[in-house]
Chains A and B, each alone.
Chain A
């Protein structure tokens, strides 16, 4: 078997042309929902009656524009599909300084993302009309959703890291507002805060990466940075790559910043579907794929990306297998699936196209699964404990069938969507030299089996077996406004993978991320496919034996050590608490104490000083001025000493 795989195929950086025709309208995809959000927030209660209709109209309009852009773009030759639309100069040029244009880049990668965001976004907006119908603040909810769509589109359409950062913070803010939407309940506010913290850590990564770019490349434009990155040293590229990875980990809930995603499920379910499954959490994958020209120069950073992806993949699967809360299982599964994408993105051009493809198919089937979960919650009085469901297939046939489509898609059963994307990622993981393909390939392969187990477990517990409902539950199908989007997403879960493969999606992305020459895996492709399917079948069978053939206890059994650990999210909160919160708190307390006591005390020790300053002190009935002044004296002495010492 030959290993002559061009892993490091530099992404071809195509010179971008000014946008024309329908593509020139793309800025409207950001502007329209942004305007709508502003109107809804400013008009206040006056717009309560028609606010949701305006809110729904904007992503639909955005999708129409993106579709027109797609048709326009397909009319251009493959190597001429990169366009820029300059809006205005955000930060002006100055001698030796750094100019930032507020510009958008419309190319196959960003356009694919915009289509996903606006299409799934539109469906979820429609679903929310019914889901949030009884909420007095529904208009505000739609305003936040619109804000999110605008920020997400800005993030992917940005032509520089600076503009991307604007969208990056924007989606964070919108997510924060939406998680905490039901802010009357305390634990929701706590969840919102946790998401904020993880994202801030990630932001530091992005800012440091941007700082390194400014210092070494003198620009933040994609074109400029990627052109310079080709000549950058490995060390620099590695540093930037790792900093970007930190950012991606925060946003995409990857190890070790994964803990916020489970808690974020506290928000309304449509939010979980749109933000915490289909779009925002995949922004980290987008960032890595977009920055591929940097990662191409940094094999170590790429390896770390792959490792992070692999760890998260397993982590999410283990947690997902132990949770009984339906939404938390789906959250863990999202984490795990994004782990797959991250792993693929870290493989370089050989896997990046499949990372994006899996991102799109996952956007459909995971959104579908969440909307299905929302439908179940709607029917069961907002319960989420899968142990109190069962046998819902008869009461809710539409939800059952659409959920089944999503389930088969995530399992990767042919010909459902996941098969086309996830299977390719597993194949790509087996490509390479030495031990790496064996390790990562095996992890990806086992992950598929674990995914099959925990998703089947959830599916069987909710829809099959005997009813274990609480007495007050009267399940029923929701209104067509909710089932409609679920059906559309189910159709996508069935067909999207095949459609993308048949229409040559990897070739469509090639101008942006380089040709996806698959290389030869260390195992034959049919062997991998068969092994995957066997493991999936085994996972399903095991879940069937445990959760469908046998009755499911209403209360969770005590379980072994691993089950208990997994139920506690593998102790991620405890670890975070010990590693981050406690030392952080100690540092702060120490700093505060130093400020009041140590500086004060140390200075007081210098007797003559205290006496000299003490004369001033007697004038005031307050001990503090003495120490303030003494601190100043100490500061002056140290400062002058430093200046003079440096001289010597």
Chain B
């Protein structure tokens, strides 16, 4: 057997980030503790930015064509490249939030993950001012998986990418500096449920292989349309289970239940990273499966996807209304957004793809910004000492008075989530709903419009609390940091506005990306 030809330039974005992850592990081992953080940060930023720029250059220079690398196991087509650029953009901003420290040098992560919460070892580590930088290699590995996820050319590669994304995230979830029990619990829940979902994905893959004799997307299309009809039930059930595995990752109902707990327990910078980048990458993979293998079966699997879409929008929207914890509210809102993106995905049209892709691009950047704000809004005790994050709505009262810039940024982000014009959120909603209207999926779009109108109340509650309520003694304050989060919030805010006012370049890019191999 001869080794397959590898198109190195096509897979460079993935190789760069995963390679940087490996180097990053070496940095942990060999670079002195003092210099470690800055080296890690530079490495991560350079690798992710480099990967994003490389993917963008590829997308522009290949102008709408694609190529398979690794003998069809990876498909580097415009869809994959768009998703890679979007993941890199959001990940880059998220790394800023992850790396930031408060003015007195405290980051969001536990000083010693191995120490039991509340133990003497933990106190000692805290007193010694230990700072762990393992988050950087973990983030790099997860990002590498996210870059490969939408480019997978067969179900097994996709599964490997899924696991490469997930495993570092399970760990990252458990690393919170404060409320460590909650964080560890969330990590464990995420792991169990994630493994459960992966099992469905893998089991579905096995069934598909049993029915079709292949897991390669290109070959599957022929099998789906012209295979042995007696094996159809096996094939369809298998594909449905594969879709379930991905629906778990994007947080679609009824596979969404991990989302609020994990978002709440994880260190908030990690939550921002997960909410944005994982969702973008998983949707990229979902689009690939839905538009290659499932598309010929849209009359069979379509109703199930419609059910999931409608359920996701309704659950996310209604439950978000009753939340009093800002992070949980954002988590349910993330579920609702998954439903809105699904509206574009299940409309089975190229406009649906480009609408969904644009939506993800703008949603990712806005989400990172919103969680960035949450990391800075801190509780204050009677002596005026600043503590952990203040997440209850009650404590956000009067933030507009005490930290007007933070409150204004958050207002912009939630207005974008609500789909108010001149924000990227509006153009995204416009694109997916217009696609649904244009593709005989008007009921989905109408449910979507109604849900986004209702969801606005959840957001307006936050705005009312920030601007129309008096600050109390318990009210949170903005914490001073080294400034990286501020940079991230500024980038997110600018992107949110620019994508609303002048979305043309990104929409054009997304239109061209609605072209899949094969």
Q: A212 contacts B240, CB within 8 Å?
A: no
With contact pairs A218-B438, A643-B300 given, residues A622 and B189 touching in the complex (Cβ less than 8 Å) = yes
With contact pairs A97-B511, A211-B445, A215-B438 given, residues A639 and B453 touching in the complex (Cβ less than 8 Å) = no
A560 at the interface (CB under 8 A from B): no
Q: A183 contacts B467, CB within 8 Å?
A: yes
The interface residues of chain A lying within 8 Å CB-to-CB of B243 are 639
With contacts defined as CB atoms under 8 Å apart, how many contacts are there between chain A and chain B in the complex? 183
Complex CA–CA separation, A462 to B299 (angstroms)? 70
Nearest B residue to A584, CB-CB: B454
B269-303 near A? 1/0 per residue, CB < 8 Å: 00000000000000000000000000000011101
Nearest B residue to A648, CB-CB: B233
The interface residues of chain A lying within 8 Å CB-to-CB of B307 are 639, 642
With contact pairs A624-B261, A636-B241 given, residues A204 and B450 touching in the complex (Cβ less than 8 Å) = yes
B236 at the interface (CB under 8 A from A): yes
B517 at the interface (CB under 8 A from A): no
With contact pairs A204-B453, A215-B437 given, residues A642 and B504 touching in the complex (Cβ less than 8 Å) = no
With contact pairs A211-B437, A620-B192, A635-B244 given, residues A192 and B200 touching in the complex (Cβ less than 8 Å) = no
B464 at the interface (CB under 8 A from A): yes
Q: A91 contacts B254, CB within 8 Å?
A: no
Q: Considering the complex, which residues of chain B in the window 393-444 have a beta carbon less than 8 Å from any beta carbon of chain A?
A: 420-422, 427, 430-431, 433-434, 437-438, 442
A597 at the interface (CB under 8 A from B): no
Q: B430 contacts A162, CB within 8 Å?
A: yes
The interface residues of chain A lying within 8 Å CB-to-CB of B442 are 211-212, 215
Q: Considering the complex, which residues of chain A in the window 612-640 have a beta carbon less than 8 Å from any beta carbon of chain B?
A: 616, 619-620, 622, 624-625, 627-629, 631-632, 634-636, 639-640
User: Which residue of B232, B240, B507 contacts A640 across the interface (Cβ within 8 Å)?
Assistant: B240
Complex CA–CA separation, A620 to B193 (angstroms)? 12
With contact pairs A98-B438, A632-B196, A643-B240 given, residues A599 and B319 touching in the complex (Cβ less than 8 Å) = no
B456 at the interface (CB under 8 A from A): yes
The interface residues of chain A lying within 8 Å CB-to-CB of B232 are 647
The interface residues of chain A lying within 8 Å CB-to-CB of B507 are 91-92, 94
Nearest B residue to A193, CB-CB: B464
The interface residues of chain A lying within 8 Å CB-to-CB of B421 are 165-166, 169-170
The interface residues of chain B lying within 8 Å CB-to-CB of A644 are 233, 236-237
Q: Considering the complex, which residues of chain A in the window 165-215 have a beta carbon less than 8 Å from any beta carbon of chain B?
A: 165-166, 169-170, 173, 180, 183-184, 188-189, 192-193, 196-197, 200-201, 203-204, 207-208, 211-212, 214-215
Complex CA–CA separation, A622 to B457 (angstroms)? 32
Nearest A residue to B358, CB-CB: A91
Nearest B residue to A92, CB-CB: B504
Q: B192 contacts A208, CB within 8 Å?
A: no
User: Which residue of B185, B200, B303, B354 contacts A94 across the interface (Cβ within 8 Å)?
Assistant: B354
A571 at the interface (CB under 8 A from B): no
Q: B511 contacts A211, CB within 8 Å?
A: no
B76-92 near A? 1/0 per residue, CB < 8 Å: 00000000000000000
A591 at the interface (CB under 8 A from B): yes
The interface residues of chain B lying within 8 Å CB-to-CB of A218 are 438
A89 at the interface (CB under 8 A from B): yes
B322 at the interface (CB under 8 A from A): yes
B219 at the interface (CB under 8 A from A): no
Complex CA–CA separation, A215 to B439 (angstroms)? 8
- B206–chain A nearest beta-carbon distance, Å: 14
Q: B318 contacts A588, CB within 8 Å?
A: yes
A526 at the interface (CB under 8 A from B): no
The interface residues of chain B lying within 8 Å CB-to-CB of A96 are 349-351, 438
Interface residues on A, range: 35 or more
- Beyond A97-B354, A632-B244, A636-B200: 12 further Cβ-contacts under 8 Å? A89-B504, A98-B351, A180-B467, A193-B468, A588-B322, A592-B318, A624-B189, A632-B254, A642-B303, A644-B237, A646-B300, A646-B301
Chain A residues with CB under 8 Å of chain B are: 88-92, 94-98, 162, 165-166, 169-170, 173, 180, 183-184, 188-189, 192-193, 196-197, 200-201, 203-204, 207-208, 211-212, 214-215, 218, 587-589, 591-592, 595, 599, 616, 619-620, 622, 624-625, 627-629, 631-632, 634-636, 639-640, 642-644, 646-647
30 contacts between A and B (CB under 8 A): A88-B504, A94-B511, A96-B349, A98-B351, A169-B422, A183-B467, A192-B468, A193-B460, A196-B460, A201-B453, A204-B453, A211-B446, A589-B322, A591-B319, A616-B196, A620-B185, A622-B185, A625-B189, A629-B193, A631-B255, A632-B196, A632-B197, A632-B255, A635-B254, A640-B240, A640-B241, A642-B307, A644-B233, A646-B304, A647-B236
Chain B residues with CB under 8 Å of chain A are: 185, 188-189, 192-193, 196-197, 200, 232-233, 236-237, 239-241, 243-244, 248, 253-255, 257-258, 261, 299-301, 303-304, 307-308, 314-315, 318-319, 321-322, 349-351, 354, 420-422, 427, 430-431, 433-434, 437-438, 442, 445-446, 449-450, 453, 456-457, 460, 464, 467-470, 501-504, 507-508, 511
